[in-house]
Amino acid sequence: MADHQGLYILMLSIHGRICGTPELGIDADTGGQVGYVLDEMQALARDPRVSRIDLLTRRFDDPDTNPIYGAPRELLESGARIIRLPAGPAHKYLQKERLWDYLDTFVDGALHFIRSEDCIPDVIHSHYADAGYVGVRLSRLLGIPLMHTGHSLGRDKRERLIAAGRKAESIDRQFHFPRRIAAEESVLSEASVVLASTRQEVDEQYGLYENAVRAHFKILPPGVDLRRFSRPGRQRSSPLLPGLRHFLEAPRKPPILAIARPDERKNFQRLVEAYATDPVLREQANLVLVMGQRDRLGQLPHGAKRVIQSILHTVDDYDLYGRVALPKHHEPEDIPEYYRYSAIYKGVFVNPALTEPFGLTLLEAAASGLPVVATRHGGPQDIIRYCRNGILVDPLNIGEMQDALRQMLFDRQRWQRASRAGLLGVRRVYSWEAHARRYLAEVERILRRQRKQLRRESAARQGVRRALPTADHLLISDIDNTLIGDPAGLATLMEWLREHPRVAFGVATGRNLKQTMEILAAHQVPRPDICITDVGTRIIYGSKLREDQDWAAHLHYRWWRDGVLQALARVPGLRLQEKFTQGAFKVSYYVDPKRPPTAKDLQQRLRERQIAAHVVLSHNCFLDVLPIRASKGHAIRFLAFRWGLPLHAVLTAGDSGNDADMMGGEICGVIVGNHSPELHGLKDKHHIYFASAHHAWGILEGIQHYRFPGQAHA
């Protein structure tokens, strides 16, 4: 990579097992996306315009996995780095569907990493919805442009599973589609660019999303490693043949090859059924299914085990022994040999997935001179259009799949044309070097628009300057019904603060600054070190009440106050609050409890009018509309980043809905005993303590629970 004057790209890909020598196919989360991200990252690292590229992923030290995944850092040959951050159980590998509750912790870990490195990325690039959730929050807090690649989309996947006969309620529970889709909508609203592999992905898959009309898309297909995948040489045998002989009676018959993890969405069951119920295919071709790695079937995750058991039942029902190969293990270097073996014996590669975001295996087959039959849903449309190396089919139509396989296997002239066209097309259109060039051109466009140098200088200043140089911990409390409400508890808390001078004290409130000062004075509360007022839209320091102008400038991003007023002017159940409660970055309403609009409906109304804003409902009586970068939680993280405080050195306390985003992640969150019902949903969240005591006594109970401030350096 180049010198420090070049670009710094920070990538996020959270789930799966990611290392320099990836175990692709070892489980459902370690497949094409992992290979894509690593190849993209290394191609970018080799470009002289890039001085640094880091990939943040999850760290875990599971005894059942490779120890490399517990290493905090891994340097790749290209100079790129894999940085592993803790999120969730330290000694347990988790599937992506189980990571949602730990993503706020990952956000906080990423902030701490960026601050500790003393180097601000030029862009953040998130991969998949979980990383998109993290990327949106980092982009909001740091003002860094966000790029995003979806890889697979929740709405499209959900529709395909329902079409395949799955129940909506069941798959929503299993795959957490509501949370995933909400994260994807947020990314579309806020990313500087969304990278898609194909036009079909943009039009048909992203077209299902409300915020797609606001997103900026760039078609940027991935590449294929032409050093690994190439046409067969003059040899007429393959080193894989001995490994297949104990499966296949006639290993020189044309193979129907499929390579993917054993996942219901990959639709292998229908491929096996298509083969089993077609006498011509059974007699004249073999079926070779490379489905990840396994030792014992009983040790596989439930979904993978169900897929393989279904296939084994079909093999037995149709007596396909000797015709179907199901190898249990393979090395990374074996995959190119599978393609070449299949090309030598004039076979065909099949991707029967219900939907395929791109279809990298189709490019690998094309680079090996192997024609393809592929799902028409997703990226294969573009690949076949450019490479002209196969046939598209409806993956739910077994008859259509059988016809395509027979055409490609038994029409020799068509096979030869498709083989040659694939070899030419993949070299002409798809390579990682070309991908990196187009990628960096997009980065440069984004940075020109974002006024790169000014942003970086401002962010660097924010990371260095300390507003309270003697503080190494921070206690932030809501005021109404949290800090105040019990005079004896409040007095005890103030005494505790006097005894802990290295703990900075702050308040976070929906009140404006004047109201905040008045109510604190009325309850004999000393002036705080920090006041976060107007629902997180203002940060005020110390006795001189100095406003943080950098925070105010940060909130200007995409804020349209007049648009909010127009959009919500005639909504039943809303009434604009008095002028003195309003702010430059806050529009406040009273909510009629007899006919309250939901926050979701209001958010939808704003989206329809192309207004980027954040809606906060409190006590079912008050509504605040804020800039997308504004909230009490964002303000707290902004302060921690500025001071260089780890977030576990911050304790927050609250009682209502507009306090929720102050909680979670690595922050020590305390919800007092007199909290409102809208916070009940946080009871199972990581690092949030529900106190029994009310008001300030509840804060003191939380301090004791966390052993605060002692744990910050534990």
Average pLDDT by stretches of 10, the chain with 714 residues: 75 98 90 92 96 98 96 95 96 96 94 90 98 96 94 91 89 94 95 91 91 92 87 62 81 96 93 98 97 85 91 97 92 88 97 88 95 93 93 98 98 98 91 91 91 49 47 93 96 96 93 94 95 94 87 89 94 93 93 89 89 84 92 92 88 90 92 92 88 98 93 40
Cα 297 to Cα 23, 259, 261, 446, 490: the distances in Å are: 18, 18, 14, 48, 60
The rounded distance, in Å, linking the Cα atoms of 166 and 175 is 12
Look up tokens 């996942």; give the residue. Answer: 263
What is the 3-class SS of 632-664, one letter each residue? HHHHHHHHHHHHCCCHHHEEEEECCHHHHHHCC
CATH architecture label of 241-430: 3-Layer(aba) Sandwich (3.40)
Q: Which CATH superfamily, name and number, covers 466-557+629-713?
A: HAD superfamily/HAD-like (3.40.50.1000)
Structural domain spans, the chain = 7-220+433-459, 241-430, 466-557+629-713
Note the pLDDT of residue 399.
98
Question: Helix count (H) and strand count (E) of the chain?
Answer: 25, 26
Structure token digits, residue 77 = 């040959």
Q: Coil, helix or strand for 137?
A: helix
Structure token digits, residue 105 = 């912790």
What CATH number does the domain located at 7-220+433-459 have?
3.40.50.2000
User: ∠ CA 410-412-417 to the nearest 5 degrees?
Assistant: 125
Buried b / exposed e over 14-30, threshold 16 CB at 10 Å, is: bbbbbbeebbbbbbbbb
